[in-house]
């Protein structure tokens, strides 16, 4: 596409700087992170077009791992190839990993979490406004036809009813491709595209077997394998991550207590950057700074490889009418998922007149004045600390 060629390309230094910033201020989970990336890279810096961003969002939702981190890796790869892939992904992860390690050190020393409720109280309403702005802009580009609009609405209903995220995304892609298949049956085999997928599934099986060896004593190698397995097979939210962590670290290996696990997940949820830095906290509890480093590398490593493998396929998918239609369906379903998550977050974030006022003011400043979301998040954090002090 022409807009693919016209999008600006960034230097490695620019990539590092912007992703270090996002990794430091990106509160609110993957949906909020993606909204901040849309504002930063599509609207402000114009490094990607709206269509490129949406294509990579759809791909990130179809592979295992943390979707917002994989979006960062996709953007880095789009800009500067392998070097950009590594720089963008690492710089988005590192600030959160350092912060979580510091909190874990305090936790090990004092046996409790520092108080962060005031910051979250005021930041969450701003996150709602940021996500709504991104959702509105992305939806205008993604919903190209009446059928795609219907698929988006149906996807949202199914997600609200509790249907599995991945099943909804796959079904949306199939329904979007149905008219194309009816108009012209394609005899082209999808088998070549299935080969990497089958290889990935075989690797996943090996990782599950390696990580599934029951062992009482702790060591860094077993920690690495366990988190590598989780990063290779996990789809979904932080609540799905909680289930995987409980199964491995509490029930199978007996390395953590239930309370430690819940505290670890809480830290991953309330700190900026990827929610998967929950692994950093667990690694520190079990093995100090080396354990934190090993756990962080292991859980994020599969995402780098999966993005590197799938990134070059996106332009080829767009050139195929059938595959492009499937991707369009996945994209609108991804936006439905984004909307459902925002709705659930809003129900817990807008709890009183002050939080509602913060959300409304933030929305006005974002939509009307196009104020940088980073300043709103910083101001809200200060308001929250003052309010709860």
CB 266 within 8 A of CB 113: yes
- Tell me which DSSP letter residue 99 carries: H
Q: How far is Cα 249 from Cα 256, in angstroms, rounded to an integer?
A: 6
Token pair 């209903």 is at which residue? Answer: 157
Q: What does each C-alpha distance from 363 to 28, 42, 69, 375 come to in angstroms? A: 16, 19, 25, 13
pTM of the complete model:
0.65
Helices (H), 212-277: 220-233, 238-245, 258-270
CB 342 within 8 A of CB 128: yes
Q: How far is Cα 205 from Cα 37, in angstroms, rounded to an integer?
A: 33
CA 45, chain centre distance (Å): 21
Q: Burial of 208 by CB count in 10 Å (0-12 exposed, 13-18 middle, 19+ buried)?
A: middle
- Does residue 375 carry a pLDDT above 90? no
Q: Burial of 244 by CB count in 10 Å (0-12 exposed, 13-18 middle, 19+ buried)?
A: middle
pLDDT, one tens digit per residue, over 57-66 is: 877 777 777 8
CB 53 within 8 A of CB 16: no
pLDDT, one tens digit per residue, over 45-84 is: 888 888 888 888 877 777 777 888 888 999 998 888 899 9
Q: How far is Cα 101 from Cα 83, in angstroms, rounded to an integer?
A: 26
- Does residue 186 carry a pLDDT above 80? no
Q: How far is Cα 58 from Cα 69, in angstroms, rounded to an integer?
A: 14
- Pick the closest to residue 325 from 148, 62, 169, 64 (CA basis): 148
pLDDT, one tens digit per residue, over 268-308 is: 767 888 888 989 999 999 999 999 999 999 999 998 998 88
- Does residue 36 carry a pLDDT above 80? yes
């Amino acid at each position: 596409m022409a807009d693919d060629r016209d999008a600006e390309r960034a230097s490695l230094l620019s990539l590092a700087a912007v992703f270090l910033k996002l990794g430091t201020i990106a509160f609110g989970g993957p949906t909020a992170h993606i909204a901040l990336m849309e504002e930063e890279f599509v609207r402000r810096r114009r490094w990607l077009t709206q269509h490129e961003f949406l294509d990579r969002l759809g791909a990130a939702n179809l592979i295992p791992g943390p979707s917002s981190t994989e979006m960062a890796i996709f953007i880095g790869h789009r800009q500067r190839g392998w070097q950009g892939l590594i720089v963008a992904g690492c710089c988005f992860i590192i600030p959160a990993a350092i912060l979580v390690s510091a909190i874990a050190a305090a936790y090990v020393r004092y046996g409790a979490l520092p108080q962060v409720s005031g910051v979250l109280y005021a930041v969450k309403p701003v996150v709602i406004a940021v996500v709504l702005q991104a959702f509105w802009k992305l939806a205008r580009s993604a919903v190209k036809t009446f059928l795609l609009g219907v698929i988006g609405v149906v996807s949202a209903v199914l997600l609200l009813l509790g249907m599995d995220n991945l099943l909804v995304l796959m079904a949306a892609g199939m329904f979007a491709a149905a008219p194309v298949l009816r108009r012209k049956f394609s005899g082209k085999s999808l088998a070549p595209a299935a080969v990497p997928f089958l290889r990935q599934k075989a690797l996943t099986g090996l990782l599950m077997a390696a990580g599934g060896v029951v062992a009482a004593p702790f060591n860094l190698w077993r920690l690495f394998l366990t988190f590598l397995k989780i990063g290779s097979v996990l789809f979904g939210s932080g609540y799905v991550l909680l289930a995987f962590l409980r199964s491995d670290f509490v029930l199978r290996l007996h390395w953590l207590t239930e309370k430690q696990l819940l505290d670890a997940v809480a830290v991953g949820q309330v700190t900026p950057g990827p929610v998967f830095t929950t692994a950093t906290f667990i690694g520190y509890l079990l093995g100090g700074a080396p354990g934190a480093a090993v756990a962080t590398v292991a859980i994020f490593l599969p995402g780098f490889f999966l993005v590197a493998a799938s990134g070059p396929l996106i332009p080829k998918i767009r050139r195929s009418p059938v595959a492009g239609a499937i991707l369009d369906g996945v994209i609108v379903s991804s936006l439905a998922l984004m909307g459902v998550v925002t709705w659930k977050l809003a129900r817990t974030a807008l709890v009183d007149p002050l939080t509602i006022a913060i959300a409304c003011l933030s929305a006005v400043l974002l939509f009307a004045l196009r104020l940088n979301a980073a300043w709103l998040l910083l101001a809200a954090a200060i308001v929250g600390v003052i309010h709860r002090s």
